[in-house]
Amino acid sequence: METFPASGCRFCHEGAKMVLFITGVCHRSCWYCPLSRERKGKDQVYANEHCISSPDKAIAEARNMRAKGTGITGGEPLGVPDRVLSYARRLKEEFGPGHHIHLYTSHAPSEKELSELLGVIDEIRMHPPVSCWKEIGTSGYLRSAELASAMGFETGFEVPALPEIDLLIPALPHLHFLNINELEWGETNAHEMRRKHLALEDSIHNAVEGSRAWCRNIVKNENVYFCSSAFKDSVQLRNRLIRTAETTARPFDEISDEGTIIYGRIEGALSVPEAVRELGTGMYEEREGALETAWWILFERGDEIEGRKSIIERYPNRGIIVEVTPLR
C-alpha cells in the first residue's frame, strides 16, 4: 500500500474524505489559483459538489459517502474562523474524534488562532504564496508551522508545482510534510497561463506541461509527496463518487466504473407507462416533472413508451450532470 507523509492523504486516496469548501472569498490573488468562476470570490459553502447552508447538511453528505474525514478548503477558510469551527465541531460530535479533519490556509496562523483550532482540526496545510518562497526560512509561515507542530498539529505546506519549488527545500526539516499539487490549468487562471507561455500537457487532463519535471529534485526527500492531476481525476474523485453511489443509488440506477450513475428519463408522459410499471415497486420515480427509471427499458421497449426519452449520466446524489443522450 502506498504511504503518504500527510495522514489526511490516505483518506483522500480511498475517496473517503469529504471536501468541505467553506468559502470562496480569499484576500490573496495568486495567479495560479484554479478555482472556478462559480465559486471564486463567492461566500458560499459546498460539501463535495453540493451547495449547502448548515453543518447538518454537511453531516448528511458525509454520511452519503461514508466519509472517514473531511478536508476544509476555500477560498481562505481562516477568513471565516467561526464558520470553520462550527462545521468542524459538528463533524467531530457526529462522527467522533477519529473523523480526521485537515485545514488548508494561506495564512500563517498565530498562536491564538491555532489554540482555537486545537481538538477540532487534526492537520494544517499552509500555502505560503510563491512571493515569499525565497525567504521561507525567515518567514512567518515556518514559525507558524513550528508552533503548530509543538502544539500537537500535524503540520506541513501544500503548494502547486512551480519552477521555484526548490526554494522550499530549506523548510523541509521543519515540516511533517510538503504536498505538491501538479499545476493545473483552469478557467480563471488561463489568461495568466498563456501570458507565461505555459501549455497543457495533453488533451485529457488539466496538468500544465513541465510542472512534474520542476519537482524532480525536491521529491527525492521522504516527506515530500507529488499529487498528479491524473491521480485526482482517475483515483481520488472516482473512489469518492463510487463510495457515494454505493450509498445513495436507487434500485434502477446503474453505477458506472467511474462512479457516476446512469438512468433513463421520460418527459411528457401522461401516466406511468405499462412497460415501466411492470418493472415493479422501486424501479421508477417521479422527479422534477419527469419519470426516472432503468435506462435499458428505454432501449428494449422504447417503442411502447410515449414522451421524450433520454439517458442521463451524472454524479451520484443528484450531482453534476455529465451527459444527456436523447433517444428517438
Name the least confident of 4-13, 99-108, 218-227, 312-321. Answer: 4-13
Q: Walk across the sheet containing 123-126 and list its strands.
A: 50-52, 45-47, 17-23, 69-74, 100-105, 123-126, 154-160, 177-181, 224-227
**299-328 confidence digits (pLDDT tens):** 999 999 999 999 999 999 999 999 999 997
User: Pick from 206, 222, 243: which residue ends a domain?
Assistant: 243
Percent of the chain with pLDDT over 70: 99
| Mean pLDDT across 54-74 | 97
* Alpha carbons 206 and 189: distance in angstroms, whole number: 12
As for how many domains the chain has, the answer is: 2
User: Pick from 243, 267, 298: which residue ends a domain?
Assistant: 243
Nearest to 63 by CA among 246, 241, 247: 247
Domain interval for residue 162 = 7-243
| Mean pLDDT across 27-39 | 93
Grid coordinates belonging to 234: 482517475
**235-275 confidence digits (pLDDT tens):** 888 999 999 999 999 999 999 999 999 999 999 988 999 99
Q: Place 36 in a pLDDT band, splitting at 50, 70 and 90.
A: very high
| Mean pLDDT across 55-59 | 98
318 and 212 part of one domain:
no
Q: Given a cut of 60, is residue 173 above it in pLDDT? A: yes
Q: Given a cut of 90, is residue 117 above it in pLDDT? A: yes
96 and 149 part of one domain:
yes
153 and 279 part of one domain:
no
Q: What does the pLDDT read at residue 95? A: 98
User: Pick from 196, 227, 243: which residue ends a domain?
Assistant: 243
163 and 81 part of one domain:
yes
| Mean pLDDT across 158-178 | 97
Q: What does the pLDDT read at residue 324? A: 96
130 and 231 part of one domain:
yes
217 and 291 part of one domain:
no
Contact at 8 Å (CB) between 155 and 149? yes
